[in-house]
Amino acid sequence: MRKVSTGFVYFFGALGGLLFGYDTGVISGAILFIQKQMHLGSWQQGWVVSAVLLGAILGAAIIGPSSDRYGRRKLLLLSAIIFFIGALGSAFSPEFWTLIVSRIILGMAVGAASALIPTYLAELSPADKRGTVSSLFQLMVMSGILLAYITNYSFSGMYSGWRWMLGFAAVPAALLFLGGLILPESPRFLVKSGHMDQAREVLETMNKHDEVAVKKEVDAIEASAQIVSGGWSELFGKMVRPSLIIGLGLAIFQQVMGCNTVLYYAPTIFTDVGFGVDAALLAHIGIGVFNVIVTAIAVTIMDKIDRKKMLNIGAVGMGISLFVMSFGMKFSGGSQTAAIISVIALTIYIAFFSATWGPVMWVMIGEVFPLNIRGLGNSFASVINWTANMIVSLTFPSLLDFFGTGSLFIGYGVLCFVSIWFVQKKVFETRNRSLEDIEATLREKAGEEATTLSATK
């Protein structure tokens, strides 16, 4: 392993999140100009936004599981190359279908990053810091979204500004590739592939040469690595079922609570309640700054508060905010006060999401799956997350036309409160537990259930 600091590893390990955030967030401003120049209807607008999400499903499904075979680092480098190609392809698209194809390619990198990075960061970090380190991914996502908002505003005065908005992503993609050349491989993958000396070297660096901690971790990883790599049958088997329910449930609820409709379409929402385009984009930047600050605070407290408690607090805050925002939007047409209330409620909603469901979901799907199927499990949860994201985002413009801004978000608010039941009944706590301890508990529980079942026969 090259001599690099833990800060360097964590920064470049999470940098894919910046591209994830930028490429999903930039379209919120660019679509205002693309729809005019390409004369797009509601469904075409939905597809321009959602093409990245379709690509993300493919990327998470294809590239994610490959990390169990080829390693996390190599696939991260491949993702950087795909990011670069997709960004330039989107920027130079001459018409609608070329833009769709380019954004699907771009989305493959986004999906791969979402499947790879939480696993990579979780496997590199010590148990007592894993929540903080893994949530750096979400901080990068939010930073990428803020960068997208700033870029949108900066190029909004140019006729071809949307091309610069989309193409700018090639710059961080190139940085990710260069940084990825120096990043170490995951120590868990190195142990699985028989490179014990390299694994110890990485663990010594990440644990700041704490020999006791390194030996304990190596022994636990070796024990887990003895188990043969699993496939779909094990992913859907009895032992992994609690993890699978957590991964899929959190992935779906994170989307059906409406988070990305707000992130993608906030400028559209602002213009609907009376803001001009420039004012909408500027307000979007303000929300982005607030977003990053809240996420940074969440990173610092991630290992101090139980994951389940954070999810429940977030769901309550998001649900109430959506109800208030819906009320404000319903009366915003004739009242400037109501419009201001809508914007404040929207900002508070995003803050609760950024502090809780945004980072916690990605942290937990990187924690709950056993080592021998961690890449596959994380990938599958990411596929479900992106599928839910695509369905919600693709249908949002048409639903907005049908229900109006004053009613649509009430449904998302109700689902926020439904998620509390799911968290209480189906999610187990992972804070301050090693990945190997979580896996051992799953195996013990499956063994106890098998023993109880055989005893009752």
Read off the pLDDT of each residue in 205-231 and give the average, rounded to a whole number: 71
Q: Among the ranges 167-176, 218-227, 232-241, which has the highest mean pLDDT value?
A: 167-176
Give the whole-angstrom CA distance, residue 364 versus residue 368. Answer: 6
Confidence class for position 41, pLDDT limits 50, 70, 90 = confident
**pLDDT at residue 157, rounded to an integer:** 77
What are the tokens at 213? Answer: 């901690």
Q: Residue 230 has what pLDDT?
A: 65
Q: How confident is the model at residue 224 (pLDDT cuts 50, 70, 90)?
A: low
Q: What number is the average pLDDT over the span 131-138?
A: 79
| 335-342 mean pLDDT | 73
CB 155 within 8 Å of CB 162: yes
Apex 394 CA angle, 352 and 320, nearest 5: 25
pLDDT of residue 316: 96
Q: Which tokens hold the place of 92?
A: 């130079």
Question: Which residue is listed with tokens 């790599």?
Answer: 229
* Mean pLDDT along residues 247-271: 79
pLDDT band at 232 (very low <50, low <70, confident <90, very high): confident
Listed in sequence order, the DSSP H helices in 71-169 are 72-91, 96-124, 130-134, 136-154, 161-167
Is the model's pLDDT at 33 over the cut of 80?
A: yes
CA atoms within 13 A on the CB side of 388: 19
Q: Tell me the mean pLDDT in the region 396-416.
A: 79
Residue predicted with more confidence, 407 or 172: 172
Contacts of 114 (CB under 8 A, 6+ apart): 20, 56, 60, 362, 382, 385, 386
Residue count of the chain, please give it: 457
With a pLDDT cut of 70, the percent of the chain lying above it is 89
Question: Which DSSP helix (H) or strand (E) runs through 238?
Answer: none
Three-class secondary structure assignment of 147-184: HHHHHHHHCCCCCCHHHHHHHCCHHHHHHHHHHHCCCC
pLDDT at site 309: 93
Residue-wise burial string across 92-112, b where 16 or more C-beta atoms lie within 10 A, e elsewhere:
ebeeeeebbbbbbbbbbbbbb
Contacts of 159-162 with CB under 8 Å at 24 or more apart are: 159/37, 161/33, 162/30, 162/33, 162/34, 162/37
pLDDT value of residue 24: 76
84 close to 177: Cβ distance less than 8 angstroms: yes
What top-level class would CATH report for the domain 8-183+227-456? mainly alpha
**Least confident stretch, 10-19, 30-39, 83-92, 122-131:** 122-131
Confidence (pLDDT) at 103: 92
CA distance 110 to 228: 29
Counting beta carbons within 10 angstroms of the beta carbon of residue 331, is it exposed (0 to 12), middle (13 to 18) or buried (19 or more)?
A: middle
Q: What is the model's pLDDT at position 267?
A: 66
Mean residue pLDDT across the chain: 81
How far, CA to CA in Å, does 266 sit from each of 137, 143, 154, 273, 396?
Answer: 22, 17, 17, 11, 12
> What was the pLDDT predicted at 273?
62
Residue 259: per-residue pLDDT: 79
Residue 174 tokens read as 């190139």
- Share of residues in the chain with pLDDT > 90 (%): 17
Q: What is the pLDDT of residue 274?
A: 66
Local confidence band at 369 (pLDDT 50, 70, 90 cut-offs): confident
CB 130 within 8 A of CB 114: no
Its sign, for the CA torsion 296, 298, 338, 325, is: positive
Which one is predicted more confidently, 115 or 274?
Answer: 115
Q: Which residues contact 375 (CB under 8 A, 6 or more apart)?
A: 64, 65, 66, 67, 68, 72, 115, 119
CA distance 146 to 295: 12
What's the pLDDT score for residue 119? 78
Of 256 and 232, the structure prediction assigns the larger pLDDT to 256
Predicted local distance difference test score (pLDDT) of residue 454: 47
Please state the rounded mean pLDDT for residues 187-205: 81
Ramachandran angles phi, psi of 338, nearest 5°: -65, -40
Q: What is the pLDDT of residue 1?
A: 52
pLDDT for 36: 81
Per-residue pLDDT for 18 more than 50? yes
How wide is the angle at C-alpha 103 spanned by C-alphas 405 and 35, nearest 5°? 45
**Cβ contact 321:331 at 8 Å:** no
Other beta carbons less than 10 A from residue 429's beta carbon: 12
For residues 94 and 78, give the distance between their C-alpha atoms in angstroms, rounded to a whole number.
Answer: 26
Most confident of 8-17, 173-182, 367-376, 430-439: 173-182
- In whole angstroms, how far apart are CA 171 and each of 47, 158, 338, 377? 25, 20, 40, 31
What local confidence, expressed as pLDDT, does residue 341 receive? 81
Q: What is the pLDDT of residues 278-327, one digit of tens each?
A: 777 677 788 788 888 888 888 888 888 889 999 999 999 999 999 988 88
